[in-house]
A and B are shown apart, each in its own frame.
Chain A
């Protein structure tokens, strides 16, 4: 089985190296130690002006050691994996631990627990993807652009990543994951533009030609965009825009550390969204980009974040869990981590509404393909500003009447969730801040646009 083969490769190569580092740490006096190995074979073919202009590949490995001496912690990392490099890694981490103050509420490294293999997280075809394979897909995207008389831009990335964690409490976890992503922007001669994207574990499931056609059609449809006044509009957000809502809410609020520091909007039991909104984090869901365990070697639990509009939970790593006297949910990032835990496998529940029906429900509103350069303006209220991009349309009487120039919004994403009146029945798998998200399109009863640009 592929999963077994992946496990054999990872166990055979990186866990022994991690154990070698653990031994060095023990000799240097560690009372606890954790080693994280991330090995990466990745490649990316980038295209612009309907030709490949950048084309890269990388073989890299990083070894991260969290060295614990009582309640003192030092972290060091290295890319040098010969024995001298690993000895120096342990010595560096030990030297840091000797020089820092004790963490009074240090909860200890996590204990081992069962981890379920996720066969769906690995695809041989992605791990073996060649430059020629990527170039062929890119030529398909370009071909769709040529057929439509527009110009193609984008990238096709394939990656095989091994994550291995070993700690002195007995955790021995290794997994090999593959990811792939094709994104494309098509531009029409008069300035119209369209976008399409797909992420997948198996790169051969990405339909490059279809993505090219989608982006090309939208680029042509945005020809002759006109200005509309900023203001409050009901909107349909396509999946490419919705993924930003999840990412930003994950960054601002779904972390236990954000709650502990009082800067999160999350209060368990608080209603923040409409009844149509349910969001969870699930590293095992094959619809996303699965991940069996986190960067502390803790199995990922499914966490209901928002259920029918009501806050149900946040994600934990070992340290934030210790503070709340509970277990980690398997959402730790590599040490040292001042960001706290992070949901990197979010999924938003699908609804029952088709894309056409979502649009048909707008009396006068906007259809938004995607957002650009979003940033929080007021973190606790989740007020975010950003631009629309690559396909914004005016809808009247339930029908798209034409393209409009891009608009700036300044909008509370929480109020946007509260205003969700319909959810698309189809979902897309897209790359998020750190992982992958699975999202539907949404119809929202009001969205505040505060400015406009010239295209």
Chain B
């Protein structure tokens, strides 16, 4: 492999690149999809290829190919340089990268049970047991149960002498149970909408115990059909981790991406309200209880690795400290523009995509004091919202609206009746400033999403979020008419 990467870099340099890096990536995937007791899709996939990124005359070029062959390395290096020269014809600010020591070493996700080593029949059996248990509940219309695993082996090399090898394994599994009657369609998901995901092996899937949760979740989906509509109003809400992680993702993770702040995602996903002046002024993002960190070192998160795709070592970067906005997710190109070093957040979706600033594990840190159950007990009147159903946020990440699968009324410190079709909305900083309770370590759990979209051409990112539950006051609940 060293010969191949060296040839790629030498060719790029000989053609005029002042900096070049190459990633050779092979990815193995498998998935199982069960729908209402039918094994609808079992698939395995593998792909391999490489991408070369070059700087020529201060401008970027990138080209990639699925043919990992020496001659193709020469062709792709040449194509990348040609593209960079075309970029230079519309360039106003030549790229400058921050310094970092050459990266070297190897990283591998700790895995107890290799998911690809577990017999397929066994994995299908585990999933079918859960799906069948859910379908056995009267009133369930259809179910979807899934398992997936991905292993990515990646070699990175750069003209500064960096050479790293990484093997990252992610697994996910979960079930969605649907009940439909007339115009009403209700769903409950376990452990989370879209499944639960970890950087781990099959031991995580077994630990979820899907069959053990099928029946109560199915009964709740059916019960929601006849539950009262969640009424509109200004309410106290307690967010379960299954919703809170996405609130963190959308309203803190994305707006702290420094490339968005500089406008490089403006035409697609948008920009950010967290402009650089707010970093300098100590903008109050949330209440004193809000501590948010982007931590690529925490075990189990899907944003955990050894080095990012620029060869910057994994690190923990504070984003919000005691409610004050203090940092960004950043790269070697963007960090120097605010006088900082890269936070190591450049990640690419495979060999055929350039690295972009992506979330690592953006975590809301727990606060000593109350568990999530104790927060509920401490709430006289409110709503407990769990499992995301819908999400939307504006192009500067200010106005958000979420729907959850379920709301439980809280009265006198106890969770009571179900309410259907709950929604809540707000302005990001107003919402986080209204946070008056954050759960402690007892309710702190690592979640994440395998489908974070960004960039053109589109890239799908795997990101982690460790969160406890939390409480927010005076939130607008119940949006829309139906």
What residues make up the interface of A, taking CB atoms closer than 8 Å to B?
42-62, 73-81, 92-93, 95-96, 99-101, 103-104, 130-132, 134-135, 138-139, 142, 151, 153-155, 157, 183-185, 187, 261-263, 335-338, 372-381, 383, 385-387, 389, 406, 408, 410-412, 448, 450-455
A135–B79 CA distance with the chains assembled, in angstroms: 15
Determine chain A's interface SS by DSSP, over half rule: strand
Question: By the criterion CB–CB under 8 Å, are B480 and A383 in contact?
Answer: yes
Question: By the criterion CB–CB under 8 Å, are A387 and B394 in contact?
Answer: yes
What residues make up the interface of B, taking CB atoms closer than 8 Å to A?
31, 33, 35, 38-49, 59-67, 79-80, 82-87, 89-93, 119-121, 124, 128, 141-142, 144, 178, 180, 183-185, 262-268, 270, 273, 352-354, 389-396, 398-399, 401, 403, 421, 423, 425, 427, 456-457, 476, 479-482
Question: By the criterion CB–CB under 8 Å, are A79 and B49 in contact?
Answer: yes
Question: By the criterion CB–CB under 8 Å, are A48 and B264 in contact?
Answer: yes
With a cutoff of 8 Å between Cβ atoms, the chain B residues found around residue A92 in the complex are 44
Q: How far is the CB of A123 from chain B (nearest CB, A)?
A: 20
Q: How far is the CB of B261 from chain A (nearest CB, A)?
A: 12
A328–B390 CA distance with the chains assembled, in angstroms: 32
Q: How far is the CB of A221 from chain B (nearest CB, A)?
A: 18
With a cutoff of 8 Å between Cβ atoms, the chain B residues found around residue A74 in the complex are 42-43
Q: How far is the CB of A117 from chain B (nearest CB, A)?
A: 28
With a cutoff of 8 Å between Cβ atoms, the chain B residues found around residue A132 in the complex are 86, 89
With a cutoff of 8 Å between Cβ atoms, the chain B residues found around residue A375 in the complex are 390-392
User: Among A73, A96, A99, A451, which residue has its beta carbon within 8 angstroms of that of B425?
Assistant: A451
With a cutoff of 8 Å between Cβ atoms, the chain A residues found around residue B178 in the complex are 261, 263
A59–B75 CA distance with the chains assembled, in angstroms: 11
A452–B178 CA distance with the chains assembled, in angstroms: 32
Q: How far is the CB of B385 from chain A (nearest CB, A)?
A: 14
Question: By the criterion CB–CB under 8 Å, are A62 and B263 in contact?
Answer: no
Q: How far is the CB of B115 from chain A (nearest CB, A)?
A: 15
With a cutoff of 8 Å between Cβ atoms, the chain B residues found around residue A376 in the complex are 390
Question: By the criterion CB–CB under 8 Å, are B43 and A75 in contact?
Answer: yes
User: Among B41, B262, B389, which residue has its beta carbon within 8 angstroms of that of A336?
Assistant: B41
User: Among B47, B180, B265, B266, which residue has its beta carbon within 8 angstroms of that of A187?
Assistant: B266
How many residue pairs link A and B with beta carbons under 8 A? The number is 276
With a cutoff of 8 Å between Cβ atoms, the chain A residues found around residue B44 in the complex are 75-77, 92-93, 96
Q: How far is the CB of B147 from chain A (nearest CB, A)?
A: 13
Q: How far is the CB of A130 from chain B (nearest CB, A)?
A: 8
Question: By the criterion CB–CB under 8 Å, are B392 and A374 in contact?
Answer: yes
A5–B134 CA distance with the chains assembled, in angstroms: 54
Question: By the criterion CB–CB under 8 Å, are B46 and A45 in contact?
Answer: no
Question: By the criterion CB–CB under 8 Å, are B141 and A60 in contact?
Answer: no
With a cutoff of 8 Å between Cβ atoms, the chain A residues found around residue B183 in the complex are 380-381
Question: By the criterion CB–CB under 8 Å, are A451 and B399 in contact?
Answer: yes
With a cutoff of 8 Å between Cβ atoms, the chain B residues found around residue A47 in the complex are 90
Closest Cβ neighbor of A257 among chain B residues: B35
Question: By the criterion CB–CB under 8 Å, are B266 and A100 in contact?
Answer: no
Question: By the criterion CB–CB under 8 Å, are B394 and A408 in contact?
Answer: yes
Contacts A49-B93, A375-B392 given; indicate if A451 touches B41 (C-beta within 8 A).
no
With a cutoff of 8 Å between Cβ atoms, the chain A residues found around residue B49 in the complex are 60, 79
Closest Cβ neighbor of A102 among chain B residues: B39
A92–B119 CA distance with the chains assembled, in angstroms: 13
User: Among A42, A131, A452, which residue has its beta carbon within 8 angstroms of that of B399?
Assistant: A452
